[in-house]
Amino acid sequence: MSLQLTDVSKSFGRLGVLDAVSIDVPRGARLAIVGASGSGKSTLLRIIAGFERPDSGTVALDGRALAGRGADVPAHRRGIGYVAQDGALFPHLTVARNIAFGIRRRPDRARRVRDVMDIASLDPALADRYPHQLSGGQQQRVALARALALEPSVILLDEPFSALDTGLRAHTRTAMVEALDRSGVTTVLVTHDQEEALAFGHQIGVIADGRLVQSGRPSEVFDAPVDAEIAEFLGDVV
Ligand code: ADP
Ligand code: MG
């Protein structure tokens, strides 16, 4: 499904965190939002997921409001998957059980677990391992598989590669992009890493102090930053 945010604002007490953020992600597209630490990226994802409520503005899927305009659909009914920075796997459950965790209809479970493991390029032999027996990259792919197992229409990725060392990062990113493409799910990734955003997004958004200051195709954003501050922030890459 397509995802729309319209003028989403959020404060915590007197701290303004998001200021009238609007985004529109077409069905199946990948949006990468890049911004410095503390710029409001995680808060934005938490509002989309339904873990936080916006003070004003709306979040909608295919034009149907989830938050705002009188709507307040709870997180577990949104059909939105969330993958945290450290994967947040259940340490006491095997890979297969982690992935099966939220699947309600029993007859489907084993097949669905195999399917999403395949989509996430996870060797079936890993099914009986525990998270601590996996590499960081494998753990992140299990986290993605667990999210995909619930057949979400949108996946949110909060700095999913930051905890990985450089060697694993590109490989894990490629595997995850392939998995997302195969499942056709609409995706929003947030990161402080410009290179990561560039490699991941069909569209790039730049967030600074809670405002989406620029958005467009990767080449538009990186070749023509709207102001000197953004040029400096993006400068490492170009
Ligand atoms: P980012 O993910 O870009 O690093 P966050 O969205 O986590 O940024 O945080 C943006 C700002 O909002 C930070 O100053 C952070 O301390 C503050 N913040 C985030 N969540 C809360 C909260 N639940 N209560 C108070 N302040 C918060
Ligand atoms: Mg964050």
> Any residues with CB less than 8 A from the CB of 73 and at least 6 apart, and which?
50, 66, 67
Residue from 9, 12, 212 whose mutation best tests the ligand 1 pocket (most atoms within 8 A of CB): 12
Q: What is the pLDDT of residue 107?
A: 83
Short-list 189, 187, 204, CA closest to 238: 204
Q: Which residues of 141-169 are buried (b: 16+ CB within 10 A; e: fewer)?
A: bbbbbbbbbbebbbbbbbbbbebbeeebb
pTM: 0.92
Residues 236 and 197: their CA atoms lie apart, in Å, by 13
Residues 10, 88: Cα–Cα separation, whole Å: 25
Indicate whether 166 pLDDT > 50.
Answer: yes
pLDDT(156) > 80: yes
Q: What does the mean pLDDT of the chain come to? A: 91
pLDDT of residue 223: 78
Q: How many C-beta neighbours within 10 Å does residue 232 have?
A: 10
In angstroms, the CA 89 to CA 67 distance is: 28
Q: How far is CA 133 from the centre of its chain?
A: 25
- List CB-based neighbours of ion ligand 2 within 5 Å: 41-42
The CA 207 to ligand 2 mean position distance, Å, reads 12
Identify the bridge partners of residue 64 per DSSP, sorted by sequence position.
61
Please determine, for residue 230, whether its predicted confidence score (pLDDT) is greater than 80.
no
Confidence of residue 114 (pLDDT cuts 50, 70, 90): very high
177-193 average pLDDT score: 93
Point out which residues pair with 133 in neighbouring strands: none
Structure-token pair, residue 133: 């027996």
Cβ–Cβ under 8 Å, residues 222 and 230: no
pLDDT at 236 over 60: no
The predicted pLDDT at position 237 comes to 52
| Alpha helices by DSSP H, the chain | 41-49, 95-100, 106-119, 136-149, 166-183, 194-200, 218-223, 228-234
The mean pLDDT value for 92-99 works out to 96
pLDDT at 69 over 60: yes
* pLDDT tens digits for range 4-62: 999 999 999 999 999 999 999 999 999 999 999 999 999 999 999 999 999 999 999 99
How far is 165 from 202, CA to CA, in rounded Å? 24
Q: Looking at the CA of 159, which ligand is closest?
A: 2
- Cα separation of 16 and 7, whole Å? 14
Is the predicted ipTM greater than 0.95, yes or no? Answer: yes
Name the band, by pLDDT with cuts 50, 70 and 90, for residue 238: very low
Atom of ligand 1 nearest to the CA of 36: 3
The pLDDT score that the predictor gives to residue 7 is 98
Contact 11, 54 (CB under 8 A): no
Nearest ligand (C-alpha, residue 11): 1
**C-alpha 3 to ligand 2 mean position (Å):** 20
**Beta pairing, strands 211-216 & 64-68:** unpaired
Predicted confidence band at 229 (pLDDT cuts at 50, 70, 90)? Answer: low
* Least trusted range by pLDDT, from 41-55, 103-117, 173-187: 103-117
